Amino acid sequence: MHHVHSLKYSASNGHLREQIRDLLPLRGKLVLVSKQCEKKILEQRVQEREEIRTLKRESQRLQRVIESMREQQTALQIQDTTGRHEVFLSLVKKQATSERPQYNSELRVQLECKGEMDAEHLWAAFKTIHPSLDSETLDWNISVVFSDKAV
């Protein structure tokens, strides 16, 4: 009986050796694929690190831009409270004053064939020259034109 077991063991052992021999090339392929995967993972990590560095630099740049804008806003608020805004407002008023005669002249050209100027014709002329004017501004402009005419 020992001999029968020995034969069975030998046959089984031979069969297992044959299977191992068949699997050896697969082991080599598995090692190769495993190394390729590790290489790709390392390459991805390198790429991700570079992307992270790039994003950090962009984030720092944006933080500097935001900080600069905050400083500008603070400076503008300080200027506004210290009265420096008056320089800007005086320039705007000066420009408006210098443009008013030309604007009024354009209105008069629009109304030239109308004869006597009245609010209705002025309203239409203003809307033709400057269609986006609101009612309050139109009323003010009409009063300015009439005050210029009286002068």
Task: Kindly state whether residues 97 and 75 are assigned to the same domain.
Answer: no
Residues near 117 by beta carbon (within 8 Å), at least 6 away in sequence: 108, 111, 145, 146, 149
CB 151 within 8 A of CB 132: no
The highest-confidence range among 12-16, 64-68, 147-151, by mean pLDDT, is 64-68
Task: Kindly state whether residues 51 and 95 are assigned to the same domain.
Answer: no
150 pLDDT tier (thresholds 50, 70, 90): very low
Domain that holds residue 116: 86-150
116 versus 122: the higher-pLDDT residue is 122
Q: How far apart are the first and last CA of the chain?
A: 139
pLDDT, averaged across the chain? 78
| Domain end point (choices 38, 62, 82) | 82
The total number of structural domains in the chain stands at 2
pLDDT at 119: 72
Token pair, residue 145, equals 């034109």
> Can you give the pTM of this predicted structure?
0.37
CB 126 within 8 A of CB 141: yes
